[in-house]
Structure 1
């Protein structure tokens, strides 16, 4: 793989200082509330949707963090907050120790190339009027990565890195399959040599066989370039394969976060247990006895009016009075695992 794509840029620009000993990225009690009705984000009548409410996460260099949970739990909103496509209502977003939560668009410019997004839909995320070469070269030109005379060479290098034919730079997006388009999106994200890539359900629009190819590509990029990933997906098997750590979200909050093997092996939060029990088990397909599944009762509450105390209590079989009156903090349950539950315990052995 051509590591030349991460060579220094040709013009001097503002660099983000590297600070040893601190996380690459931190979210501290970050919230994102949207007002329904007229009057702007938090003004005027209507209700307030608490899409993300007090989320704290940590990402270190080269690490992969998976975000999982039901649709509408706030995963994609969290991704857009990290990329600063949204300005949070409250909380800190620290990149290399600097708070970028409320920076202006001009102040954010040097951070834009450090944090990149791979979007869910490879069909609508590429401009159909531009060639692949123009799409990738725009990122190079905006951040002054290479001289204009070398743009085509760099575009072809990037296409080769993601497994596409370098000679197809002059084709349009409609001439590629869904998997190839997602590779183009990955090449566009790589063009600016980011330290963090946020992959927002990058596999959901792809066939299963293509999903495996894209995951293997992302793993290769992580290993060879040391890129840290925030990986959002519904497929718990892929998350377990790709991610070092996993955070489980429910109704705008992180309810459990920890080391991949420990969280999958011994989840302490009831919701995490129910979520993992619903995942397909290949062992059963191969003839093993099926394990008991946890079936949740009731619907997910509205983020406009979430339950008091623990947000999962209305569907939890362990809920007691304290769950309705006191919000459980995210606290350590093992050396590497954190759970927001008044009664955390691993599932009973079967």
Structure 2
């Protein structure tokens, strides 16, 4: 097995809630991320999917050490960086970069494209051969922009072009890992394809690993080798792409996949049933006991309220296909019976 590039273990992030008229005191916590385990391998993409508010973006910012975790551990190339200070993180910062969701607010409107892309090199004192400005023009060309646009401002570009500028900025320090937080969700569908194809080409040519955060399962399937499904701060299923999309085991994953639009069926096969979840996502301030999905799950029983299901491998699954459910779905979407491996029940 290839050595892990990034490893998150038991990671938690709680945001305190403060109340009171005169004296503000802590009255609770928002459980944004509540004990997750994830690994990203060199040159591969791990997709992280789930509904809005499930903690995906917070996980990405934790992975990039833009915010500090409440508990758990973050290891980069085997080194513990969970509580590393600014000086300790300085040599690691260039190797972990981020592409933000909104291509409009993530670029400073007062800076030219050249200064935006050159900024990371200025901060870290990187002096590439030929100078920084030459490297900026090379990066603009790599991401499909005209190098002559060096002195233009962000407002002169479309949304897709602005996101390409963000990609060029992320590449400026030659990172080993890029955390892409919903990089195409604000773009038109045709532009989404262009940006995803660009990221795939960069991964192939430069060997960059991605933590790719999105809510569009079709986009994640196209770009990711492994996929983790997140619900209310927890990982409920994680597997390689083919196993998760063809043999999902968690009811929530089934519901998500049933919502993916499909072209008109011309094969004569029975169309996939649309699963409609009842109710809303519970509040992360006071999450349900036991399984967090039980309040919307059609298979929920008393055990689901009393015990939190561990993330385990089920019989019939690949060794890296893990599911957190007491009563998982059949190993295929056709409806065959499942049996828990007795060795995993202890």
Asked if these proteins are the same fold (TM beyond 0.5), I'd say: yes
Return the offset for 1:289: 4.8
Q: Which residue of 2 aligns with 1:77?
A: 58
Show the counterpart of 1:153.
Answer: 134
Q: In the alignment, what sits opposite 2:329?
A: 345
In 1, Cα distance between the equivalents of 2:15 and 2:210?
Answer: 27
Residue 299 of structure 2: aligned partner: 318
Alpha-carbon distance between aligned partners in 2 of 1:204 and 1:140, rounded to the nearest angstrom: 28
Alpha-carbon distance, 1:316 to partner: 1.1
* Residue 14 of structure 1: aligned partner: none
Gaps of 5+ in 2: 336-346
CA contact (8 A) 1:115 1:195 kept: yes
What residue is the counterpart of 2:143 in the other structure? 162
Structure 2 counterpart of 1:244: 225
SS at 2:67's partner residue? coil
Partners of 2:267 and 2:157 lie apart in 1 by: 36
Q: Is the 8 A contact 1:199 1:232 kept in 2?
A: yes
- Report deviation, 1:237: 0.8
Please give the root-mean-square deviation of Cα atoms over the aligned residues, in Å: 1.9
Q: In the alignment, is the contact (CA less than 8 A) between 2:246 and 2:333 conserved in 1?
A: no
- 1:151-300 equivalence runs, <5 A: 151-284=132-265, 289-300=270-281
Instruction: State the partner residue of 2:111.
Output: 130
State how far apart, in whole Å, the 1-side matches of 2:3 and 2:196 are.
28
**Structure 1, unaligned runs of 5 or more:** 1-19
* Separation (CA, whole Å) in 2 of partners of 1:286 and 1:127: 50
Counterpart CA distance in 2 for 1:315 and 1:271 is: 9
Of residues 219-228 and 324-333 in structure 1, the stretch that sits farther from structure 2 once superposed is 324-333
Question: 1:127 Cα shift?
Answer: 0.6
What is the TM-score with the length of structure 1 in the denominator? 0.90
Distance in 2 between residues matched to 1:32 and 1:243, nearest whole Å: 25
Change (3 A) 1:181 1:348: closer
Q: After TM superposition, give the deviation of residue 138 of structure 1 in Å.
A: 1.2
CA contact (8 A) 2:221 2:241 kept: yes
Q: Give aligned pairs, total.
A: 328
Q: Note if 1:305 corresponds to 2:286.
A: yes
2:327 is paired with a residue whose SS is coil
Question: How far apart, in 2, do the equivalents of 1:157 and 1:286 lie?
Answer: 47
TM-score by length of 2: 0.91
Q: Distance in 1 between matches of 2:147 and 2:127?
A: 18
